[in-house]
Amino acid sequence: MTVTLADVAARARVSPATVSRVLNGNYPVAASTRERVLRAVDDLDYVLNGPASSLAAATSDLVGILVNDIADPFFGIMAGAAQTEIGGPGDGSGRAGGEKLAVVCNTGGSPERELTYLTLLQRQRAAAVVLTGGAVEDPAHQAAVSAKLAKLADAGTRVVLCGRPPLPDGEAVVAALAFDNRGGGRRLTEHLLSLGHRRIGYVAGPLERTTTRHRLEGHREAMRAAGLVGDEERLTVHGPYDRRSGYDATLELLRREPEVTAVVAANDTVALGASAAIRDRGLRIPEDISVAGFDDLPFSVDAVPALTTVRLPLFEAGARAGRLAMGKETPPPGGIATIAAELMVRGSTAPPRV
Protein backbone atom coordinates (compact mmCIF):
# COMPACT_ATOMS: atom_id res chain seq x y z
CA MET A 1 0.00 0.00 0.00
CA THR A 2 1.35 3.41 -1.00
CA VAL A 3 2.12 5.75 1.88
CA THR A 4 0.58 9.19 1.39
CA LEU A 5 1.39 12.61 2.73
CA ALA A 6 -1.78 12.34 4.83
CA ASP A 7 -0.42 9.15 6.42
CA VAL A 8 2.74 10.98 7.42
CA ALA A 9 0.69 13.86 8.83
CA ALA A 10 -1.40 11.46 10.92
CA ARG A 11 1.70 9.68 12.21
CA ALA A 12 3.36 12.97 13.16
CA ARG A 13 0.11 14.46 14.55
CA VAL A 14 0.32 17.53 12.32
CA SER A 15 -1.53 18.84 9.26
CA PRO A 16 -0.61 17.75 5.73
CA ALA A 17 0.37 21.36 5.05
CA THR A 18 2.95 21.18 7.84
CA VAL A 19 4.41 18.00 6.37
CA SER A 20 4.68 19.72 3.01
CA ARG A 21 6.41 22.72 4.57
CA VAL A 22 8.96 20.50 6.29
CA LEU A 23 9.76 18.50 3.17
CA ASN A 24 9.94 21.52 0.88
CA GLY A 25 11.76 23.73 3.40
CA ASN A 26 9.81 26.75 2.21
CA TYR A 27 8.26 27.87 5.51
CA PRO A 28 9.51 28.14 9.10
CA VAL A 29 8.58 25.13 11.25
CA ALA A 30 9.44 24.56 14.92
CA ALA A 31 12.43 22.28 15.39
CA SER A 32 10.48 19.78 17.51
CA THR A 33 7.73 19.61 14.88
CA ARG A 34 10.22 19.20 12.07
CA GLU A 35 11.94 16.31 13.84
CA ARG A 36 8.58 14.64 14.51
CA VAL A 37 7.65 14.91 10.83
CA LEU A 38 11.01 13.59 9.65
CA ARG A 39 10.77 10.69 12.09
CA ALA A 40 7.34 9.82 10.66
CA VAL A 41 8.71 10.10 7.12
CA ASP A 42 11.46 7.69 8.07
CA ASP A 43 9.20 5.27 9.94
CA LEU A 44 6.78 5.05 7.03
CA ASP A 45 9.48 5.18 4.34
CA TYR A 46 7.51 7.91 2.59
CA VAL A 47 8.60 8.95 -0.90
CA LEU A 48 7.33 11.84 -2.99
CA ASN A 49 4.45 11.03 -5.33
CA GLY A 50 3.60 12.23 -8.80
CA PRO A 51 6.14 14.06 -10.99
CA ALA A 52 8.48 14.50 -8.04
CA SER A 53 8.99 10.77 -7.76
CA SER A 54 10.84 10.76 -11.07
CA LEU A 55 13.42 13.01 -9.46
CA ALA A 56 13.97 10.76 -6.44
CA ALA A 57 17.15 9.31 -7.86
CA ALA A 58 18.53 12.65 -9.04
CA THR A 59 21.06 14.57 -7.01
CA SER A 60 21.06 18.25 -6.19
CA ASP A 61 23.87 20.77 -5.76
CA LEU A 62 23.93 20.15 -2.01
CA VAL A 63 26.66 18.37 -0.04
CA GLY A 64 26.20 17.67 3.67
CA ILE A 65 29.13 17.52 6.10
CA LEU A 66 28.08 16.10 9.48
CA VAL A 67 30.11 17.05 12.55
CA ASN A 68 29.61 16.46 16.28
CA ASP A 69 30.68 19.95 17.36
CA ILE A 70 31.66 22.66 14.88
CA ALA A 71 33.24 24.67 17.73
CA ASP A 72 35.75 21.83 18.28
CA PRO A 73 38.82 22.40 16.04
CA PHE A 74 38.97 18.64 15.44
CA PHE A 75 35.74 18.86 13.42
CA GLY A 76 36.17 22.40 12.16
CA ILE A 77 39.49 21.57 10.49
CA MET A 78 38.12 18.48 8.75
CA ALA A 79 34.92 20.24 7.65
CA GLY A 80 36.81 23.24 6.33
CA ALA A 81 39.26 21.05 4.42
CA ALA A 82 36.44 19.00 2.88
CA GLN A 83 34.73 22.20 1.82
CA THR A 84 37.84 23.34 -0.06
CA GLU A 85 37.56 20.28 -2.30
CA ILE A 86 33.82 20.51 -2.88
CA GLY A 87 32.82 22.35 -6.02
CA GLY A 88 34.59 23.38 -9.17
CA PRO A 89 33.57 24.56 -12.61
CA GLY A 90 29.83 24.07 -12.93
CA ASP A 91 28.47 22.05 -15.82
CA GLY A 92 24.84 22.74 -15.02
CA SER A 93 24.08 19.09 -14.36
CA GLY A 94 23.99 19.28 -10.59
CA ARG A 95 26.09 16.12 -10.40
CA ALA A 96 29.57 15.38 -9.09
CA GLY A 97 32.04 17.65 -10.85
CA GLY A 98 29.75 20.69 -10.91
CA GLU A 99 29.52 23.51 -8.41
CA LYS A 100 28.19 22.39 -5.04
CA LEU A 101 26.91 24.03 -1.88
CA ALA A 102 28.55 22.48 1.19
CA VAL A 103 26.39 22.65 4.32
CA VAL A 104 27.89 21.81 7.72
CA CYS A 105 25.37 19.98 9.91
CA ASN A 106 26.21 20.24 13.61
CA THR A 107 24.70 17.30 15.50
CA GLY A 108 25.91 18.36 18.94
CA GLY A 109 26.82 14.71 19.49
CA SER A 110 23.14 13.69 19.39
CA PRO A 111 22.41 10.38 17.62
CA GLU A 112 18.86 11.61 16.96
CA ARG A 113 20.10 14.77 15.28
CA GLU A 114 22.50 12.72 13.16
CA LEU A 115 19.59 10.69 11.79
CA THR A 116 17.50 13.83 11.34
CA TYR A 117 20.18 15.48 9.22
CA LEU A 118 20.61 12.34 7.13
CA THR A 119 16.86 12.32 6.50
CA LEU A 120 16.91 15.99 5.50
CA LEU A 121 19.83 15.41 3.15
CA GLN A 122 18.01 12.44 1.63
CA ARG A 123 14.92 14.59 1.01
CA GLN A 124 17.10 17.27 -0.58
CA ARG A 125 18.69 14.61 -2.84
CA ALA A 126 22.18 15.57 -1.65
CA ALA A 127 24.97 14.92 -4.13
CA ALA A 128 27.22 13.70 -1.33
CA VAL A 129 27.40 13.27 2.43
CA VAL A 130 30.57 13.28 4.54
CA LEU A 131 30.27 11.95 8.10
CA THR A 132 33.13 12.94 10.39
CA GLY A 133 34.31 11.74 13.79
CA GLY A 134 33.65 8.65 15.86
CA ALA A 135 30.42 6.70 15.70
CA VAL A 136 27.99 5.95 18.52
CA GLU A 137 28.38 2.33 19.65
CA ASP A 138 24.70 1.52 19.94
CA PRO A 139 23.48 -1.38 17.76
CA ALA A 140 20.05 0.16 17.15
CA HIS A 141 21.54 3.50 16.11
CA GLN A 142 24.19 1.85 13.95
CA ALA A 143 21.48 -0.14 12.17
CA ALA A 144 19.43 3.02 11.64
CA VAL A 145 22.44 4.89 10.22
CA SER A 146 23.32 1.99 7.92
CA ALA A 147 19.75 1.86 6.62
CA LYS A 148 19.69 5.60 6.05
CA LEU A 149 23.04 5.59 4.23
CA ALA A 150 21.80 2.73 2.03
CA LYS A 151 18.81 4.86 1.01
CA LEU A 152 21.07 7.79 0.25
CA ALA A 153 23.39 5.63 -1.85
CA ASP A 154 20.45 4.09 -3.73
CA ALA A 155 19.35 7.62 -4.67
CA GLY A 156 22.77 8.46 -6.08
CA THR A 157 24.35 10.17 -3.08
CA ARG A 158 28.08 9.54 -2.56
CA VAL A 159 28.75 8.73 1.11
CA VAL A 160 32.20 9.14 2.68
CA LEU A 161 33.25 8.50 6.28
CA CYS A 162 36.11 10.64 7.61
CA GLY A 163 37.74 9.80 10.92
CA ARG A 164 35.09 7.16 11.46
CA PRO A 165 35.51 3.38 11.36
CA PRO A 166 33.89 1.53 8.46
CA LEU A 167 30.37 0.19 8.85
CA PRO A 168 29.87 -3.57 9.24
CA ASP A 169 28.08 -3.48 5.88
CA GLY A 170 29.95 -0.84 3.94
CA GLU A 171 28.28 -1.27 0.56
CA ALA A 172 26.59 2.14 0.78
CA VAL A 173 29.88 3.95 1.44
CA VAL A 174 32.26 5.17 -1.26
CA ALA A 175 35.14 5.21 1.22
CA ALA A 176 35.89 5.10 4.94
CA LEU A 177 38.95 7.03 6.11
CA ALA A 178 39.65 5.71 9.60
CA PHE A 179 42.24 7.20 11.95
CA ASP A 180 44.62 4.79 13.70
CA ASN A 181 43.35 5.83 17.13
CA ARG A 182 44.32 2.53 18.71
CA GLY A 183 47.88 2.64 17.41
CA GLY A 184 48.26 6.28 18.39
CA GLY A 185 47.03 5.59 21.90
CA ARG A 186 49.46 2.72 22.26
CA ARG A 187 52.48 4.74 21.06
CA LEU A 188 51.62 7.64 23.35
CA THR A 189 51.54 5.42 26.43
CA GLU A 190 54.68 3.58 25.31
CA HIS A 191 56.42 6.96 25.24
CA LEU A 192 55.42 7.63 28.87
CA LEU A 193 56.48 4.14 29.90
CA SER A 194 59.86 4.62 28.23
CA LEU A 195 60.35 7.71 30.41
CA GLY A 196 59.79 5.58 33.50
CA HIS A 197 56.16 6.33 34.34
CA ARG A 198 54.15 3.53 35.92
CA ARG A 199 51.23 5.29 37.65
CA ILE A 200 49.44 6.71 34.60
CA GLY A 201 45.93 8.13 34.83
CA TYR A 202 43.67 8.24 31.78
CA VAL A 203 40.97 10.84 31.13
CA ALA A 204 38.76 9.12 28.54
CA GLY A 205 36.01 10.45 26.30
CA PRO A 206 32.32 9.40 26.31
CA LEU A 207 31.79 5.69 26.82
CA GLU A 208 29.55 5.28 23.77
CA ARG A 209 32.01 6.61 21.14
CA THR A 210 34.24 4.43 18.94
CA THR A 211 37.04 7.01 19.19
CA THR A 212 36.99 6.69 22.98
CA ARG A 213 37.17 2.90 22.92
CA HIS A 214 39.94 2.67 20.35
CA ARG A 215 42.22 5.23 22.04
CA LEU A 216 41.66 3.63 25.42
CA GLU A 217 42.33 0.16 24.01
CA GLY A 218 45.67 1.36 22.64
CA HIS A 219 46.60 2.79 26.04
CA ARG A 220 45.70 -0.41 27.86
CA GLU A 221 47.55 -2.59 25.34
CA ALA A 222 50.74 -0.70 26.17
CA MET A 223 50.09 -0.96 29.91
CA ARG A 224 49.49 -4.70 29.71
CA ALA A 225 52.63 -5.20 27.65
CA ALA A 226 54.53 -3.49 30.48
CA GLY A 227 52.92 -5.81 33.03
CA LEU A 228 50.83 -3.01 34.56
CA VAL A 229 47.39 -4.53 35.10
CA GLY A 230 44.75 -4.48 37.80
CA ASP A 231 44.16 -0.74 38.22
CA GLU A 232 42.74 0.03 34.80
CA GLU A 233 39.27 1.07 35.94
CA ARG A 234 40.42 3.01 39.00
CA LEU A 235 42.87 5.01 36.89
CA THR A 236 40.33 5.81 34.15
CA VAL A 237 37.66 8.52 34.27
CA HIS A 238 35.22 9.09 31.39
CA GLY A 239 33.62 12.36 30.34
CA PRO A 240 32.83 14.64 27.37
CA TYR A 241 35.53 15.80 24.99
CA ASP A 242 35.82 19.26 26.55
CA ARG A 243 38.07 21.28 28.83
CA ARG A 244 35.76 21.11 31.86
CA SER A 245 35.71 17.33 31.69
CA GLY A 246 39.51 17.27 31.65
CA TYR A 247 39.65 19.50 34.70
CA ASP A 248 37.09 17.58 36.79
CA ALA A 249 38.32 14.14 35.75
CA THR A 250 41.92 14.97 36.61
CA LEU A 251 40.94 16.14 40.09
CA GLU A 252 39.10 12.85 40.51
CA LEU A 253 42.17 10.88 39.34
CA LEU A 254 44.38 12.72 41.82
CA ARG A 255 41.87 11.99 44.57
CA ARG A 256 41.86 8.28 43.70
CA GLU A 257 45.61 8.01 43.22
CA PRO A 258 47.74 10.88 44.61
CA GLU A 259 50.88 9.14 43.31
CA VAL A 260 49.93 9.50 39.65
CA THR A 261 52.96 10.74 37.70
CA ALA A 262 51.35 11.16 34.27
CA VAL A 263 47.90 11.90 32.82
CA VAL A 264 46.86 10.91 29.32
CA ALA A 265 43.92 12.94 28.03
CA ALA A 266 41.37 11.81 25.46
CA ASN A 267 42.16 14.81 23.26
CA ASP A 268 44.09 18.07 23.38
CA THR A 269 41.14 20.12 24.64
CA VAL A 270 40.71 17.70 27.54
CA ALA A 271 44.46 17.95 28.14
CA LEU A 272 44.14 21.71 28.65
CA GLY A 273 41.61 21.10 31.42
CA ALA A 274 43.83 18.42 32.92
CA SER A 275 46.77 20.82 32.95
CA ALA A 276 44.72 23.51 34.68
CA ALA A 277 43.62 21.07 37.38
CA ILE A 278 47.21 19.99 38.01
CA ARG A 279 48.36 23.60 38.36
CA ASP A 280 45.45 24.43 40.67
CA ARG A 281 46.68 21.63 42.93
CA GLY A 282 50.04 23.41 43.16
CA LEU A 283 51.82 20.88 40.95
CA ARG A 284 54.17 21.54 38.03
CA ILE A 285 54.10 20.17 34.47
CA PRO A 286 56.13 18.11 33.70
CA GLU A 287 58.30 18.19 36.85
CA ASP A 288 55.57 16.71 39.09
CA ILE A 289 53.08 15.28 36.56
CA SER A 290 53.44 14.77 32.82
CA VAL A 291 50.45 15.49 30.58
CA ALA A 292 49.74 14.17 27.08
CA GLY A 293 46.89 14.77 24.65
CA PHE A 294 45.67 13.50 21.29
CA ASP A 295 44.95 15.08 17.84
CA ASP A 296 47.68 17.80 17.75
CA LEU A 297 45.22 20.67 17.43
CA PRO A 298 46.74 24.06 16.47
CA PHE A 299 46.97 25.35 20.05
CA SER A 300 48.92 22.32 21.28
CA VAL A 301 52.33 23.62 20.29
CA ASP A 302 51.57 27.01 21.89
CA ALA A 303 50.55 25.59 25.28
CA VAL A 304 53.00 26.14 28.13
CA PRO A 305 54.75 23.78 28.17
CA ALA A 306 54.06 22.63 24.60
CA LEU A 307 51.83 19.56 24.64
CA THR A 308 53.05 16.07 23.86
CA THR A 309 50.31 14.58 21.73
CA VAL A 310 49.43 12.34 18.80
CA ARG A 311 49.11 14.09 15.48
CA LEU A 312 46.21 13.18 13.23
CA PRO A 313 46.39 14.76 9.76
CA LEU A 314 42.95 16.34 10.09
CA PHE A 315 43.20 18.79 7.20
CA GLU A 316 44.64 16.19 4.84
CA ALA A 317 41.94 13.66 5.81
CA GLY A 318 39.14 16.20 5.38
CA ALA A 319 40.45 17.30 1.98
CA ARG A 320 40.71 13.70 0.84
CA ALA A 321 37.15 13.05 2.02
CA GLY A 322 35.99 16.03 -0.03
CA ARG A 323 37.73 14.75 -3.15
CA LEU A 324 36.26 11.29 -2.68
CA ALA A 325 32.80 12.75 -2.14
CA MET A 326 33.09 14.67 -5.42
CA GLY A 327 34.53 11.75 -7.37
CA LYS A 328 37.83 13.58 -7.83
CA GLU A 329 39.90 10.76 -6.32
CA THR A 330 39.81 7.01 -6.74
CA PRO A 331 38.59 5.23 -3.57
CA PRO A 332 41.19 3.16 -1.69
CA PRO A 333 41.29 -0.62 -2.21
CA GLY A 334 38.25 -2.16 -0.58
CA GLY A 335 36.93 1.32 0.13
CA ILE A 336 38.84 1.54 3.45
CA ALA A 337 41.99 3.48 4.31
CA THR A 338 43.65 3.66 7.71
CA ILE A 339 45.30 7.03 8.36
CA ALA A 340 48.44 6.84 10.46
CA ALA A 341 48.87 8.71 13.75
CA GLU A 342 52.21 10.33 14.60
CA LEU A 343 53.64 10.81 18.10
CA MET A 344 54.69 14.42 18.77
CA VAL A 345 56.99 14.64 21.81
CA ARG A 346 57.12 18.09 23.40
CA GLY A 347 57.76 19.72 26.74
CA SER A 348 54.73 18.49 28.72
CA THR A 349 56.23 15.03 29.31
CA ALA A 350 59.43 14.12 31.16
CA PRO A 351 60.73 11.34 33.42
CA PRO A 352 58.76 11.05 36.69
CA ARG A 353 59.94 12.74 39.86
CA VAL A 354 62.22 10.60 42.01
Q: Give the pLDDT of residue 94.
A: 40
Q: Give all domains of the chain, ordered by start, each with its CATH number.
A: 1-56 (1.10.260.40), 181-310 (3.40.50.2300)
Tell whether the torsion through CA atoms of 259, 264, 265 and 271 is positive or negative: positive
Q: According to the model, what pLDDT value does residue 283 have?
A: 97
Residue-level pLDDT at 36 = 87
CA–CA separation, 317 vs 298, rounded Å? 16
pLDDT of residue 96: 44
Other residues' Cβ atoms within 10 Å of the Cβ of residue 24:
11
Which pLDDT value is given to residue 59? 66
pTM across the whole model: 0.83
Q: Give, as one character, the DSSP assignment of residue 136.
A: B
Query: CA 339 to CA 155: how far, in whole Å?
Result: 29
Question: Tell me, what's the pLDDT at 1?
Answer: 61
pLDDT, mean of each 10-residue run, the chain (354 residues): 80 85 72 82 65 50 95 96 78 52 94 92 93 93 92 93 86 92 98 98 96 97 96 96 97 97 98 98 98 97 97 98 95 95 98 88
Tell me the three state secondary structure of residue 3.
coil
> Do the Cβ atoms of 3 and 49 come closer than 8 Å?
no
Burial of 200 (0-12, 13-18, 19+ CB in 10 A): buried
Q: What is the pLDDT of residue 16?
A: 83
